[in-house]
């Protein structure tokens, strides 16, 4: 894991050159823009994503706290999701039943994407940390600018 936080440009580069499929960009986009947990994203269904209303519903059944979260879809994530068209009810059917094997597959996809983008490998949870650190930095910058 890298100790330094990636820049927004590095994160964009990962999505542009590292991920090869719309599925992977959509999956990691939800991690990046919403800070959702991997387990929660794996369990999303097509009905949980309302592109017209700009909302994703993350069921409390799969969250750490048991609470259902209603997440506004940021425009960059909206574009990623519009390109991805799963053929069944599960949003990410390849991983829903795989358990720990699914987590290994997802980690491998991320590792290979980092290699293609010539970025240091980070774990899946890094996207959550990255989002929160950026939100914190932006809030602090806003406070100091007042």
pLDDT of residue 2: 42
Look at residues 144, 142, 127 and name the one whose alpha carbon lies nearest to residue 8.
127
pLDDT of residue 109: 96
pLDDT of residue 59: 77
What are the residues whose beta carbons fall under 8 Å from the beta carbon of 88, sequence distance 6 or more?
46
pLDDT of residue 65: 77
What are the residues whose beta carbons fall under 8 Å from the beta carbon of 74, sequence distance 6 or more?
33
What are the residues whose beta carbons fall under 8 Å from the beta carbon of 112, sequence distance 6 or more?
18
Please give the Cα distance from 30 to 26 (Å, whole number): 6
pLDDT of residue 98: 62
Do residues 117 and 17 make contact, with C-beta atoms less than 8 angstroms apart? yes
Please give the Cα distance from 84 to 21 (Å, whole number): 9
pLDDT of residue 139: 79
pLDDT by 10-residue block (mean), the chain, 146 residues: 77 97 97 91 92 89 76 96 91 73 90 97 93 84 67
- What domains can be seen in the chain, in order of their start residue? 8-139 (1.10.443.10)
């Amino acid at each position: 894991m890298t100790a330094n936080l990636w820049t927004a440009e590095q994160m964009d580069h990962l999505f542009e050159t590292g991920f090869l499929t719309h599925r992977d960009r959509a999956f990691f986009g939800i991690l990046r823009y919403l800070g959702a947990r991997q387990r929660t994203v794996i369990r999303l269904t097509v009905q949980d994503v309302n592109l017209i209303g700009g909302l994703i519903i993350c069921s409390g059944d799969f969250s750490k706290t048991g609470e259902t979260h209603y997440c506004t879809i940021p425009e960059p994530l909206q574009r990623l999701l519009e390109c991805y068209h799963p053929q069944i009810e599960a949003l990410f059917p390849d991983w829903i039943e795989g358990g720990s094997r699914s987590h290994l597959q997802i980690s491998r996809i991320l590792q290979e994407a980092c290699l293609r983008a010539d970025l240091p490998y980070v774990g899946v949870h890094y996207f959550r940390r990255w989002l929160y650190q950026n939100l914190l930095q932006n809030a602090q910058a806003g406070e100091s600018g007042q």
